[in-house]
Structure 1
Amino acid sequence: MNTYLIEFIDGHKRQVIGETAGKAKYDLFRDLQDCFNCDFRDFIGFIESCKKLRGFSIKDLFGGRDQFESIKQARGIDFAYQGMRISVCGQMGIIVGGNNSMNLDVVFNGQYHKSPL
């Protein structure tokens, strides 16, 4: 696995984890499919560059601490912390952060990408 920085033509940037640059772009397309009303071929046209930053590191999964803390307060889960092991519907995982939808991001055992909770 590698960590890639994908930059869109409008200047927005996103870090994505993937085996190859192509797989990283496709994973991002799948994550953003609800925002784009197009197929993958058209989506590629919005990407200006895809640069390999480094080989995969576990720290790439962890999100911003400030956002995570505000989600904890808003949801009333002050006991939670990044790196906490949890079980969701029988699947074990680790809390790695939060997202703009006020959900926690969890990496489940055996996976290398975040899943919103």
Structure 2
Amino acid sequence: MNNVAAPAINTYEVRTYDIWDDKEYPKIITAETRSKAKYEYWQLMSDCWDIPFGKLLPMLRVRTIGRFKPSDLFGNRERFERVIHNRCIPFAYMGMRIEVSGKMGTIVGANDSGNLDIIFDGQWWKENCHPWWKTKYFDRNGALIKEYAD
């Protein structure tokens, strides 16, 4: 199992200048890297232009708008403390690495249903997860702290 830190999902502005109609075509793209943002831009614009990715690549300009990290989604601390107390998971903390049903993620809070809010690797939104359903909790060094089979 790979227990590396969650990849950051960043926001980029990708643009190209079309010399034929003297216009710029900017798009806001959410991606893990600048290169992936360029490729996503090409995929989005390929309906408009019949240009191979390799030929479009030198014409693209990328600007980082915002860097994202899971802590950007950290929720209400009091609600989180209440949930970890009521669900008997006192070892849990916001920012903790967790595996739910085989998917790695990071705890970013808790919700009114008494569950944890998790941002899974490669996503930038949180999901509602029961703290005991097929869940593994890891410490800061990647060692397994607690596992719930079902």
State TM-score, norm by structure 1: 0.52
Amino acid at match of 1:92: M
Tell me the alpha carbon deviations over residues 36-85 of structure 1, each in whole angstroms, 9 at most, x when there is no partner: xxxxxxxxxxxxxxxxxx94643431101111000000000001111000
Which residue pairs with 2:103 in the alignment?
91
CA distance in 2, matches of 1:77, 1:64: 17
- Identity over aligned residues, as a percent? 49
More helix by share: 1
Task: Specify every segment of 5 or more residues in structure 2 that has no aligned partner in the other structure, as ranges.
Answer: 1-9, 12-27, 30-64, 130-150
Amino acid at match of 1:93: G
CA RMSD of aligned residues (A): 2.0
Count of aligned residue pairs for this structure pair = 68
Q: Provide the secondary structure at the position in 2 that maps to 1:96.
A: strand
Matched, 1:74 2:86: yes
Which residue pairs with 1:114 in the alignment?
126
Larger radius of gyration: 2
CA distance in 2, matches of 1:71, 1:82: 12
Tell me the alpha carbon deviations over residues 8-46 of structure 1, each in whole angstroms, 9 at most, x when there is no partner: xxxxxxxxxxx69xxxxxxxxxxxxxxxxxxxxxxxxxx
Which residue pairs with 1:64 in the alignment?
76
Matched, 1:102 2:114: yes
Task: Specify every segment of 5 or more residues in structure 1 that has no aligned partner in the other structure, as ranges.
Answer: 3-18, 21-53
State TM-score, norm by structure 2: 0.41
Amino acid at match of 2:75: G
